[in-house]
Amino acid sequence: METAGSLQRADLKEVNAATRGNRLELRHFPRFRPGRGQGLASSGPSRLNSRAARGEAMLHRFILAGALLLAALAGPGPAAAGVVAEIELSSQRMTVKVDGAVLHVWPVSTGRGGYITPTGSFRPERLERVWYSTLFRGAPMPYSVFFHGPYAVHGTTETGALRRPASHGCVRLLPENARILFELIREHGLDNSRIVITG
């Protein structure tokens, strides 16, 4: 037979498990169901069991309320670390954030007329420090971050065309800026990085 002390210890273990990572799961708090001899309508000695059952139900409610309060005070968990390169086609600008903080804002060139730069949120697929285009006459693409098939963010020798659409669909940067982005993504990892392109 469980005592009040053992019930309290078990309930506290449930709260610790339920609130781990600031996530509260109500399934850890089953509803009380009176057993045989504990019915509220019983008479005689069963009244003691009825009082114990009511006390146990109140204890569950008290623990649940405390867990909810702790979760609310703790707030949301920390955001996942990572690199986000946000490219805005309308302004031809890239904003680089690390762990949510803006580190760099750079001019870019994206797809010119007849060529599209895909929009959406992409996880980088691979990194190539030295690369030459296999589609456009071996054009140099230093510090390439491939994010969607043949599309990549990379450095360019045509720096005078930055700030306006001029590419075949890739996102062009100054070579030094491409190197910085390349190293940030390599440091944090492909899974913790995103290329986000909006219109």
Angle at 84 between CA 186 and CA 119, to 5 degrees: 115
Number of domains in the chain: 2
Both 101 and 193 in one domain: the answer is: yes
Both 165 and 125 in one domain: the answer is: yes
User: What is the domain range of residue 169?
Assistant: 83-198
- Enumerate residues 6+ apart whose C-beta is below 8 A from 28: 14, 15, 17, 18
Question: What band does 167 get if pLDDT is binned at 50, 70 and 90?
Answer: very high
Both 159 and 92 in one domain: the answer is: yes
Say which CATH number the domain at 144 has. Answer: 2.40.440.10
Read off the DSSP letter of residue 111: B
Both 49 and 129 in one domain: the answer is: no
Per-residue pLDDT tens digits for 62-95 = 777 766 666 555 544 444 559 999 999 999 999 9
Per-residue pLDDT tens digits for 87-135 = 999 999 999 999 999 999 999 999 999 999 999 999 999 999 998 988 7
Residue after which a domain boundary falls, among 32, 47, 74: 74
